[in-house]
Structure 1
Amino acid sequence: MHFTTLLPHLLALLAVPARAQSSGTGPYPAKYTTSTTLPKHTIYLPSTLPFNQSLPVIAWGNGGCMGRGLTFSNFLTEIASYGFMIVANGAPDGRLFPQTTAAMLTATLDWAEEASGEGGEYQGRLDTGSMAVAGQSCGGLEAINVGNDTRVRTVGVFNSGLLDMEKKDLLDRIRVPVYYFLGGSGDIAYPNGERDYADLPAGLPAWKANFDVGHMGTYSEANGGEFGKAAVAYFKWALKGDTAAKALLIGNPPGLAAAGWDVVYKNMA
């Protein structure tokens, strides 16, 4: 898989006719915003922060390592509406940092700890004990690169997998559950993700599902489509311990199977 060959697909994602921006289907209508203390990122969160809970934090890398924070806005707004803060690499218009790096995910984790601390702009409102790194395509590689950060509770890999198996040590260093969301055999990253899942360290909790729509998933659909629904279930279970969400991911059969997802998992007892 060469990400230069994905450029037409990423441009097509950006060219999808704009829908009326939804605030998500969750209990906390969401929006995007920015922070002067993290100017190269875009922040998705509930428009009104819930007072009865702090928000888990998800550091997100865009497909193509693109520095436009609104590229996955439908998808990320949907997740935020269920009581999460998602910080996407790249400012909304993408002009400040057109190409992103894995270090920008680490910067999000650093910022969240500072912002939720005493005197921070989100003091006491973020659950920095429940943080994840995730991303699509090239952004998924960014997530794998920082998956060994001790502050991370889970790694989400969407339509992605290692390009170079000489870097398999990146997988070997991960010590938290890893979830792969792939687009079936028509997904250019399908063989990479399938191989990574098989090559994860023995005993590591891991989950993998395919939804046969190809590399660009359903991210541009209203509320992120089926990938949005699956991602909400994932983060609710992995970061909030929601047992109803767990039943969608892990079961006999998992609830997501009814929607057409092909789900396998290991070491998830």
Structure 2
Amino acid sequence: MNWKEKAIAITSDKKVRIGFGIGIFVLFLWFLLKPKPVTSETARVTKGTYQQIVEEEGITRVREKFTIFSPVSGILKRLHKHAGESVKKGEVLAIIKWDFDKPVYSPIEGKVLKVIRESEGPIEMGSPLLEVGNTNQLEIAVEILTQEAVHLRPGNPVQIDGWGGERLAGYLKLVEPAAYTKISSLGVEEQRVRVIVDFTPPSTMGEGFQVRCKIISDEKKNQIIAPTSALFREGENWFVFKVLKNKAKKIKIKLEAKSGENALITDGLIEGDEVILYPGEGIKENVKIR
């Protein structure tokens, strides 16, 4: 009997056909039910300089602002300057008719920041007229949560962004000694303290500009840095899922600090390790990762 005849004999056997069908069905079920690879975003652990950053929005303000008041009671005749105009020290800003025309002078060289009284007419002594200041001498006031402010020291470097121009450099000049209560946008009471940032402003920046300040409170070189989004906590311990041979491996780590997108790791990971970002419910031990 040749091989063709043998093949026909085997396939004509009813038991063989049933077994063959069962095998195909089992194979189909296995293929249907086998765990599917989970699509995940991953990133590499790096080694470099870790920076502990406190990031908040701030507002520029003139270091020394002068409010000009009416020196006498009389008739305000006119203002000689408008908001935004430059003034010289000793330049006439306004004229008040008293027993005689009494000029009001600028105490500094700078710009008119704000006109408080624009219209002519009667005015009482001590009434505010306008504000002047030197916009070449700006500083930034930033409101920091008290639990973050305790780590800040005068001299800390500051990166200034978000004002519409290139990144600027500054340093922390002062941490005010008294905190205050402020209501957050979510209606939560917060204890904050004001810190002052010194910097060299560009000519296009003025008072009241909103900026984003990154205050670097600490810096460590040659450190293992992992993405904060890869970390998750169980009880008092921190873990990540590391990718090994295309499978997820749960790894316990030692976390020293977190700041923004970066976490300082002192044990459990090495440079080049691939970790899973934003591990959800589908990420478990030995799950295949795609």
TM-score in terms of structure 2 length = 0.19
Higher-Rg member (1/2): 2
More helix by share: 1
| Greater relative CO, 1 or 2 (CA 8 Å, sep 6+) | 2
